[in-house]
Chain A
């Protein structure tokens, strides 16, 4: 049970999450996104082996962001008519405004939670392979992305090397933190020049080994859609419908 979300087909998960987000965009009451957020969390608790410490760490910026949305909506709201429930200096908050503010904040939290559910239960390589096999992404692009992804550690090393070389030659001085942050822009061009060369070399190597980029019938790593996807798909839509229709059954 605890591994269901990890075993789910990444493309199916991706499509479901997109559908959920676009549906949520049409609701401006606080209860719908709150219920949806609760549903997403419940699913993640039941069907995934999430490292919750990591989850909390990733969520912190979104809590801050939700707070930003909250007070901005209160101060810069469009509709300012209706009964005022509280006032702070010249800012008068109406009930509708408070509803909108809470709604947007909960929406931020629901969206981030949904995104984290995806990020923490999906293997990146499987995701790209699945996009190619289920959603018909061109193999040229799919393998292109994977090549770039594999180069990530190399580029990280190169970044440090270039920085050290520049410091050695006295191009950049270790002054203060701000100066050092600004000096990182000098690393960008050499780093990109190296990246361009790597791109050419690996593309050549791929073609030399017979990669044509044409679509094919079979794959070495086959990513399947099975019963787990049907079950979780229904569950996702159930949570979505349940939270969107809350006004009917909550009264």
Chain B
């Protein structure tokens, strides 16, 4: 799978991961403190931010694996930054990435419009929730509460990761620094310059 990857694409994912690794850590601290007051549901509102790297990377690079590899790298970098959540983050990174990847794979990596990006955010939400359900022991909570958590997480994934990720990547595209990546390739029907 990695044969078709250029080194600069991998290093790009790594640097995106560094920038967002800091953002992730910031949100984690906010979430941790908030969770003391309103319980584990505190994370659900902001959960989408943790999926943003996979969506930005896939939107820019557009190759099979971009979502899952970038999210895994982001998790690894977070661990390197000295995150107290530690090595289990890498596993959650893989699972979140797989959620987004599944959506892009379903379109055969052909469509990258806003709806697909939102769906990818939802995909990450669902996958990560299943994982959290097991490790967090959500089975002991009442069904209504779990459904509320899942609903908020899906909303957060769709908005923060899907819409937010597209906004960031489009802003980046406008700076012209993404020339040389798939996102800048002319689409069918565009005038050739």
> Is A103 a contact of B137 with CB atoms below 8 Å?
yes
Residue on B with the closest CB to A211?
B7
> Is A128 a contact of B80 with CB atoms below 8 Å?
yes
Contact of B14 among A18, A62, A138, A144 (CB under 8 A): A144
> Is B76 a contact of A128 with CB atoms below 8 Å?
yes
Residue on A with the closest CB to B43?
A65
Report B137-166 residues with CB < 8 Å from chain A CB. 137, 139-143, 145
What range describes how many residues of B lie at the interface? 35 or more
Contact of A144 among B32, B73, B85, B168 (CB under 8 A): B73
> Is A147 a contact of B14 with CB atoms below 8 Å?
yes
Query: B residues within 8 A CB of A147?
Result: 11, 14-15
Query: A residues within 8 A CB of B37?
Result: 68
Report A90-130 residues with CB < 8 Å from chain B CB. 100, 103-104, 107, 111-112, 114-116, 118-119, 124, 127-128
> Is B2 a contact of A100 with CB atoms below 8 Å?
no
Query: B residues within 8 A CB of A28?
Result: 137, 139-140
Mask, B54-87, CB within 8 Å of A = 1, is 0000000000000001000100110111111111
Mark the stretch among B97-105, B111-119, B121-129, B169-177 that contacts chain A.
Answer: B169-177
Check if A206 is an interface residue, CB within 8 A of chain B: yes
Mask, A210-238, CB within 8 Å of B = 1, is 01010000000000000000000000000
Query: B residues within 8 A CB of A115?
Result: 84-88
Query: A residues within 8 A CB of B193?
Result: none
Measured between alpha carbons, how far is A139 from B94 in the docked complex, in Å?
18
Chain A: residues with CB nearer than 8 A to chain B?
13-14, 17-18, 21-22, 25, 28, 58-59, 61-62, 64-65, 67-69, 71-73, 76-79, 100, 103-104, 107, 111-112, 114-116, 118-119, 124, 127-128, 138, 140-141, 144-145, 147-149, 151-152, 155, 188-193, 195-200, 202-204, 206-207, 211, 213
Residue on A with the closest CB to B90?
A14
- Supply 20 A–B pairs (Cβ within 8 Å), ascending by A: A17-B86, A64-B36, A76-B39, A77-B141, A78-B141, A103-B140, A124-B79, A141-B10, A141-B69, A144-B11, A145-B17, A148-B15, A155-B15, A188-B19, A188-B168, A189-B172, A192-B16, A195-B18, A200-B11, A203-B10
Q: Which 7 A-B pairs have the closest CB atoms?
A: A115-B86, A72-B39, A148-B14, A64-B36, A203-B8, A61-B32, A144-B10
> Is B33 a contact of A61 with CB atoms below 8 Å?
yes
Q: From DSSP, what is the main secondary structure of chain B's interface residues? A: helix
Supposing A144-B73, A191-B19 touch, asked if A78 and B139 sit within 8 A by C-beta, the answer is: yes
> Is B36 a contact of A68 with CB atoms below 8 Å?
yes
Which of A58, A64, A128, A148 has the most chain B CB within a 10 Å cutoff? A148
> Is B140 a contact of A104 with CB atoms below 8 Å?
yes
Q: A22-B135, A76-B39 are in contact. List 12 more A-B contacts (CB 8 A).
A: A14-B87, A17-B86, A21-B88, A28-B139, A61-B33, A61-B84, A68-B35, A118-B86, A119-B79, A124-B80, A140-B10, A149-B14
Check if B106 is an interface residue, CB within 8 A of chain A: no
Check if B46 is an interface residue, CB within 8 A of chain A: no
Contact of B39 among A59, A69, A119, A207 (CB under 8 A): A69
> Is A145 a contact of B41 with CB atoms below 8 Å?
no
Which of B7, B41, B42 has the most chain A CB within a 10 Å cutoff? B7
